[in-house]
Amino acid sequence: MSNSHFVRTQMLPPQKPPVGETGVIKWMRENLFSNWFNTLLTFLGLWAVYALVSGSAPWFLNGVWTASSVDECRAIIAASAGEGASGACWAMINERWHQFMFGFFDREEYWRPLLAFGLLFVALSPVLYFNLRRPTMIMTAGAGVVLVMLLWAVGTDGWHLSLAAVLMAALAALAWVAPKKLLWVTLAFPATAFFLLWGGSVWAPIGVMLGFGIAVLVWRSLVSVIGVSPAAGVAALTALIWWGFVQGHVTGFLANALPFFSLPAEDSDRFGGFLLSFVIGVSAISASLPIGILLALGRRSDMFLIKTLSVGFIEFVRGVPLITMLFTASLLLQYFLPPQTNFDLILRVIILVSLFASAYIAEVIRGGLAALPRGQQEAADSLGLDYWQAQRLIIMPQALKVAIPGIVSSFIGLFKDTTLVALVGLADPLQGVTKVVKADIAWKAAYWEPFIFVGAIFFIFCFSMSRYSMYLEQKLKTDHR
Amino acid sequence: MAMVSDAPKGNFRLSMLVYDTRYRSFTIQVIVLGLFIAFVAWLLLNLQANLAAKDKDISYSFLFNRAGYDIDQQLIPYTNDSTHGRALFVGLFNTLAVSIAACFAATLIGVTAGVLRLSKNWIVGRLMTVYIEVFRNVPLLLWILLAFSIFAQVMPEPKDFKVTQEMVDQGLEPPAQKIFFDSIAITNRGTNVPAPLLDRPLGSVSVLDVPINLSVLAAIAVIWGSFWVNGRIRASAKAIQEDTGIRPVTWWKSLLVLIVPTTALLLALGFHLEVPAFAADENGVSKGFNFVGGISLAHSFTALFLALSIYHGTYIAEAVRGGILAISRGQTEAAYALGLRPNRTMNLIILPQALRVIVPPLISQYLNITKNSTLGMAISYLDLKGTLGGITLNQTGRELECMLLMMLIYLILSLTISLGMNIFNNSVKLKER
């Protein structure tokens, strides 16, 4: 009776799970073949991928990068991949990429738009990361490094390359020492960019900026005496007088007296390609932000007249297609301005596109304002803040935060819509430049390459912007849900 | 005895217009009104001066003059002897045609892609993500031009569809084939689709110079009527269900009501499809240079339609996905707890709630499709922008009149769409107290 029962003294090792419940097989069973419909979808998807890849891969793989014409491309492809094989002729992009990027800008002057592009990021950094030393510095320095590389890539002469490098290094140092001071770069950016892009005498943009300076001075000195709105009115009037009657004489005199501060002037018809898209997109979105904020506030205003005007403007602009606005710029604007006023088509397009974008931005910001609980406004009122103080300190910071994704997607939409300017005769990258490039008999037969090149660049910019706005949305979400 | 005192009245001083918040808004509005009137007056004065300088006037009489140009896609009768006003309407109907078609297709594509992107199937989910991200991050104009180029460059010529004597002798097939059960021929000149024809049409009556096709009217009436009867059947089934708890079987009644009357009408009218084909002799050898019969859709229409529906389909897909994700998981779990199967959970619980979230962005996409149909200008699609804002404008030189009229029409279109969709939105909106 020694062994009538048995008690195991050691633990059994755990049994392995069934093969179908682990690893790849389980994953595939759950995600690809969970039922007959899912299995069907999987095979359909695999077939679609196969069809896409097998259809397009040879064309991409046979691509030729160096040739002088499409015929030469075809000859090379026929020689390497056999008769009848098709392939991309990237040589066209290789030869003409600069026109897709810069339009018809002088090649020696490519450093100017690039420098403006680099400064754009420096100007953005204090807006995105106000008074945060590290990110401001990183963004400025990063923009500097990329800028120098780009400048080197387009073959800028040493003098301008080192000028840009020194400038960007100085700005990065400024970002490290006094990140707040970088805001001055932001304020000066419009005039700087205008000077860099269009060239001419430095005094004209300075004169325009002086008008803003004068307005701020007048406003500062009057605001405590007569209140916010009247002071703003007087300041605007002073600035208008300066721009209308005084500035021309002063800057004309200065340009004559000190002629050496100038760059070779570039006509607007030399602007094209992505340079044009960026100029229109960036200036329209930055001009439309303040107008959009005012319109959104106007739409929520208690004052009947202001509300009516804002709603009327917003709904009118949102109700008509962008093309009609562009044609207004090219055909109609001349009817509504004083006779013999004739200014640049790009400028007219920028103005109309800004007005167009501001209506959309206004709706985005109105969404942000609507998301705020009424208590915020009431709390501000009970603290004794006046309307503008409450907007500036309490309402707008919160509303804009909510509106950021919407603003970014408006910008993406606007950036894509800049391709429409081709319809009023400007050289956008998609149609305008492509038409010019294909006017050359050597590249006439290249149908798909420009589409793919321009589309890829648009995709890179728009996709990264939309990802950035999703990241911002996550980061700025402060409610704990 | 309570003494109620009024607020101190005080004397009204002029400075109160600026300092007193009760009066200040009045002051501001007066100033704004003044500035606005001054601005409008300035514009009008400039307009007058400019018109005088160019020796022009504002007149819409050109709308009654002969247009003198051809439009290849006409939904109402039009020849180049018709007036500019009629050309305007042809353009307007072309705008509406491509917009409505694209709205339907984009909704179909968008809902499918949005639901599939949420699918558990890894490959399908990734594929839909790629589709959505690629198409929405590249300008619409590029897709329009690309679609047009593909049609014009890649598609076979009409002569490739021809059957020659040699092919008949040797039993060969022509190099290009019609697709979709041998009914649709895509050539580099246009897409030939079957035309619906009637052997015994009801004829048409003319109301205010606009012909109205009685057969179409009859078909619409019958279809609407059968849907109405179907609605009654379902309603009575629901009443019985609420009374007794047992829902009577209705599917065969619905099927009968929906199909039989329409089929009967079509048979009575002698409905058949006319498939585009080459004229052929008795041996099957093709004659002529192009397809005979059927409807030839211009590539400008097809390309614009495809690009609009695929591009805006991505936005609708994102709206659908967002709407479905906005419904909290608790709803699904509650439905499962009640014993509903996944399909019914989706149809009865999730989608009706998601619809409320989806409808507002859907409205704005429909508006965008209508507005973006103007991009057809890039491939010479003669919509409202192409006729009134394009050829008419260039021929008559009346930029001001054409542009203003065109903006007005688009504005009315947009406002009508948003009005209609807002009514729909109110009907599906959560009924709150």
How many residues appear in chain B? 433
Identify whether the C-beta of residue A147 lies closer than 8 Å to the C-beta of residue A114. yes
* Chain A neighbors of B377, CB-CB under 8 A: 323, 423
Does residue A464 have a pLDDT over 60?
yes
C-alpha to C-alpha distance for B322 and B313, rounded to whole angstroms = 14
β partners of residue B295 = B193
Q: Is B15 on the interface with A (CB under 8 A)?
A: no
User: Would you tell me which residues 386-425 of chain A have a C-beta closer than 8 angstroms to some C-beta of chain B?
Assistant: 412, 416-417, 419-420, 422-423
Cα A412 to the center of its chain, rounded Å:
7
Say if CB A70 and CB A443 are below 8 A apart.
yes
The encoded tokens of residue A273 equal 């390609």
- Residue pair A231/A166 in contact (Cβ under 8 Å)? The answer is no
Q: Are B53 and A339 a contacting pair at CB < 8 A?
A: yes
Maximal CA-CA distance, chain A: 123
Tokens of A470: 């999703």
Helix, strand counts (H, E) of chain A? 21, 2
B375 CB within 8 Å of a chain A CB:
yes
Q: What residue spans define the domains of chain B? A: 84-160+292-428, 213-269
Residue A20 has pLDDT above 60, yes or no: yes
pLDDT of residue A1: 53
Residue of B nearest to A49 (CA): B127
pLDDT at B9: 60
The pLDDT mean for chain A works out to 86
Residue B141 distance to chain A (closest CA, Å): 7
Provide φ and ψ at B204, rounded to 5°.
Answer: -145, 155
Backbone angles phi, psi at A69, to 5 degrees: -160, 165
Asked if B138 is an interface residue toward chain A (Cβ–Cβ < 8 A), one would say: yes
- Each of the 433 residues of chain B gets a pLDDT tens digit; together they read 455 555 556 677 777 776 677 777 888 888 889 999 999 999 999 999 888 888 888 888 888 888 888 888 888 888 888 888 888 989 999 999 999 999 999 999 999 999 888 888 888 889 999 999 999 999 999 999 999 998 888 888 877 777 777 777 777 777 777 777 777 888 888 888 888 887 777 777 777 666 777 888 888 899 999 999 999 998 998 899 888 888 888 888 888 888 888 888 888 888 877 777 777 777 777 777 777 777 888 889 999 999 999 999 999 999 999 898 888 889 999 999 999 988 888 888 888 888 888 888 888 899 999 999 999 988 888 888 888 888 888 888 888 889 999 999 999 999 998 888 778 877 777 665 5
Contacting residues for A473 by C-beta, under 8 A, at least 6 apart: A404, A405
Report helix, strand or coil for A104.
coil
Put simply, the chain A residues between 263 and 302 with a CB less than 8 A from any chain B CB are 302
Residues of A in contact with B146 (CB under 8 A): 451
Domains identified in chain A and CATH numbers? 200-263 (no CATH), 267-481 (1.10.3720.10)
- Residues of A with Cβ-Cβ distance to B50 under 8 angstroms: 334-336, 339
What residues of chain A lie within 8 A of the CB of B33, using their CB? 305
Which of B134, B149, B389 lies closest to A327 in CB terms? B389
The predicted pLDDT at position B99 comes to 94
pLDDT digits (tens, 9 = 90+) for A209-244: 888 888 999 988 888 877 777 788 888 888 888 888
Residues 6+ apart with CB under 8 A from A31: B120, B121, B122
pLDDT value for B169: 79
The tokens for B102 are 């694209």
Shortest CA distance from A29: residue in chain B: B121
The pTM assigned to this predicted structure is 0.86
Task: Looking at the complex, report in whole angstroms how far the Cα of residue A113 sits from the nearest Cα belonging to chain B.
Answer: 23
Q: Tell me which amino acid residue A466 is.
A: S
Q: Show residues of chain B in contact with A237, CB under 8 Å.
A: none
Chain B: closest CA distance from residue A14 (Å)? 31
CB A386 within 8 A of CB A314: no
Q: Which of B25, B389, B415 comes nearest A303 by C-beta?
A: B25
Residue A481's pLDDT band (boundaries 50, 70, 90)?
very low
Are the C-beta atoms of residues A355 and A325 closer than 8 Å to each other? yes
In angstroms, the separation between the Cα of residue A338 and the nearest Cα of chain B is 5
- Checking phi first, is residue B204 left (phi over 0); if not, alpha (psi -120 to 50) or beta? beta
Residue B432's pLDDT is 58
Determine which helix (DSSP H) or strand (DSSP E) holds B295, and give its type and residue range. strand B295-297
A356-370 burial, b at 16+ Cβ within 10 Å, e below that, comes to bbbbbbbbbbbebbe
Q: The domain at B84-160+292-428 falls in which architecture?
A: Orthogonal Bundle (1.10)
Which B-chain residues 277-336 have CB contacts (< 8 A) with chain A? none
Tokens of B219: 């078909």
Q: Which of residues 209-238 of A touch B (CB under 8 A)?
A: 226-227, 229-230, 233
The helix (run of H) or strand (run of E) holding residue A397 is helix A396-417
Question: Taken in order A425, A430, A433, A438, is the CA torsion positive or negative?
Answer: negative
User: B142 vs A451: CB contact, 8 Å cut-off?
Assistant: yes
Put simply, whether A462 touches B (Cβ < 8 Å) is: yes
Name the pLDDT band for A480 (thresholds 50, 70, 90): very low
The answer to whether B400 contacts A416, with C-beta atoms less than 8 Å apart, is no
Query: With an 8 Å Cβ cutoff, are B121 and A32 in contact?
Result: yes
- Is residue B62 within 8 A of residue B401, CB to CB? The reply is yes
